[in-house]
């Protein structure tokens, strides 16, 4: 219990007015003089006093790769006007769900989490009563070609900025714009424009870096990739592309390759040396070739089951190798069309939510009605019954969004909401080596999404700032 400064009576941390004398009580974070026997969370070590954490902008702390919370160095007392208090929502932590918790933001980071609602301190802080809402880490899409008419391969600087804003409407706080195989000249323009957009500033979701569905894939399992842009990394026409990768390595997050293609097993460690994640996909690899790719340094699989041979009990191939390896992250398209719900459940069970990254693989047609037409890599695509198809009937990416995926996983697949969000936010962040994203934890970046009871997005925060409000 704490003590009323007016009459000395004890009161609970959640009370705003003293029951004994009627005096207004100080807000929980206005007084650091707490005894060690209270259960208010401040002195138990569970939650820091939000005014006594380090400077979130100093780079002094964070969430480490092993999941431990940043040790924030350097005392900083936040003024009430610097605090945003999100109170009363169902809060989805990675390890548990708080039925009615509070998350406090300051300086672009999460500075405190409480397992109960807090009253409005009315002290100049920004207070939001989220009772009846769901507060989750912002969603992260590591494989998205575009939406609302925007295509990564053709995007201008302004298009990338608009993509950032459109993504935020769907609870996406970070994404990897994804390119299809193309000539070096076009790739140069894509990387230049992406770099400029990231440098100039973005109105919504973070653009984490390009996901290249690269030239170094199998012609047999090219899917919707243009065949004229597919070649070996040892081919002479590959050198301009490799030069661009080297020059723009900081703008590239993931490169998809097929391990059986000559020269790829040597390319994989070359990419890893540049801090680029390597994903195996669009591949005819057998089991042994897939294992060789993982052993060379690949850590991801691009849209498991799609654009690769199916799993066979005597020929496990890339699918079997991916399911077997505990150190491999698997993308999986969750639009209800690309992979049967029963197979989705099987993969989730086999891999665990900590190794499955749900993706949209969305094209510029996301948001277009049935009958909508557009192009991908110069190929004509039509939206038919909720599916994007080439003229020959081949499925070509999806037209779904990450918030729709969360709703599908919960309503149709029957997964727990916390696990669905883990695969849509936390696991993608971990797979990219960005544990300061994708989680609600003290010290993490304040990228959050607020859902209503129907799992529709109401508010999106990036770096503690509202970037979308319904």
Identify the residue whose tokens are 């590959």: 238
Task: Judge whether 361 counts as a catalytic residue.
Answer: yes
Burial call 298-308: b when 16+ CB within 10 Å, e when fewer: bbbbbbbbbbb
Among residues 40, 361, 403, 430, the one annotated as catalytic is 361
How far CA 96 is from CA of 248, 385, 458, in Å, comes to 39, 38, 22
- The 3-state DSSP class for residue 227 equals helix
Q: In terms of Cα–Cα distance, which of 8, 32, 40 is closest to 21?
A: 8
Burial call 341-376: b when 16+ CB within 10 Å, e when fewer: eeebeebbeebebebbbbbbbbbbbbbbeeebebeb
How many residues in total does the chain contain? 470
Lookup: tokens for 126: 């920004």
In 145-247, the DSSP E strands lie at 146-147, 150-151, 172-179, 206-207, 210-213
Q: Are 10 and 1 in contact (CB under 8 A)?
A: yes
- Phi/psi for 335 (5° steps) reads -105, 5
How far CA 423 is from CA of 176, 334, 376, in Å, comes to 16, 11, 27
CA–CA gap between residue 272 and residue 81 (Å, rounded): 44
CA–CA gap between residue 206 and residue 168 (Å, rounded): 9
CA–CA gap between residue 270 and residue 190 (Å, rounded): 22
Active site residues: 361
């Amino acid at each position: 219990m704490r003590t009323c400064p007016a009459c000395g009576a004890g009161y609970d941390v959640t009370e705003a007015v003293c029951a004994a004398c009627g005096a207004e009580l100080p807000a929980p974070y206005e007084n650091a003089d707490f005894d060690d026997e209270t259960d208010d969370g401040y002195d138990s070590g569970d939650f820091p006093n939000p005014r006594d954490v380090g400077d979130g902008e100093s780079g002094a702390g964070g969430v480490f790769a092993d999941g431990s919370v940043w040790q924030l160095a350097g005392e900083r007392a936040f003024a009430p006007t610097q605090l945003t208090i999100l109170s009363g929502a169902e809060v989805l932590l990675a390890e548990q769900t708080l039925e009615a918790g509070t998350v406090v933001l300051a300086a672009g980071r999460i500075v405190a989490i409480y397992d109960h609602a807090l009253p409005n301190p009315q002290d100049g802080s920004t207070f939001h009563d989220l009772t009846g809402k769901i507060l989750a880490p912002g969603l992260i899409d590591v494989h998205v070609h575009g939406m609302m008419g925007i295509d990564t391969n053709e995007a201008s600087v302004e298009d990338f900025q608009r993509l950032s804003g459109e993504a935020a409407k769907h609870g996406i706080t970070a994404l990897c714009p994804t390119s299809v195989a193309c000539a070096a000249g076009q790739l140069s323009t894509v990387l230049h424009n992406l770099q400029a957009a990231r440098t100039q500033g973005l109105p919504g979701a973070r653009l984490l870096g390009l996901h290249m569905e690269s030239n170094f894939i199998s012609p047999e399992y090219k899917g919707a990739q243009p065949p004229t842009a597919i070649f070996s990394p040892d081919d002479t026409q590959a050198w301009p592309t490799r030069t661009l990768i080297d020059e723009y390595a900081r703008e590239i997050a993931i490169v998809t390759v097929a391990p059986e293609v000559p020269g790829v097993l040597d390319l994989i460690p070359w990419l890893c040396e540049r801090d680029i994640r390597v994903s195996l996909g669009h591949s005819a690899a057998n089991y042994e070739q897939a294992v060789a790719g993982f052993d060379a340094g690949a850590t991801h699989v691009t849209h498991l089951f799609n654009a690769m041979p199916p799993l066979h009990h005597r020929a496990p191939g890339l699918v079997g190798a991916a399911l077997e390896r505990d150190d491999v992250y698997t993308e999986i398209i969750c639009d209800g069309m690309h992979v049967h719900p029963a197979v989705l459940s099987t993969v989730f069970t086999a891999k665990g939510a900590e190794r499955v990254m749900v993706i949209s693989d969305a094209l510029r047609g996301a948001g277009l009605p049935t009958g909508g037409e557009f192009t991908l890599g110069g190929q004509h695509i039509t939206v038919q019954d909720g599916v994007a198809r080439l003229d020959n009937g081949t499925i070509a990416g999806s037209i779904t969004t990450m918030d729709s995926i969360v709703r599908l996983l919960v309503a149709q697949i029957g997964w727990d909401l916390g696990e669905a969000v883990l695969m849509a936010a936390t696991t993608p962040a971990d797979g990219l080596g960005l544990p300061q994203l994708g989680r609600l934890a003290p010290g993490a970046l304040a990228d959050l999404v607020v859902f209503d009871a129907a799992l529709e997005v109401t508010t999106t925060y990036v770096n503690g700032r509202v970037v979308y409000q319904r």
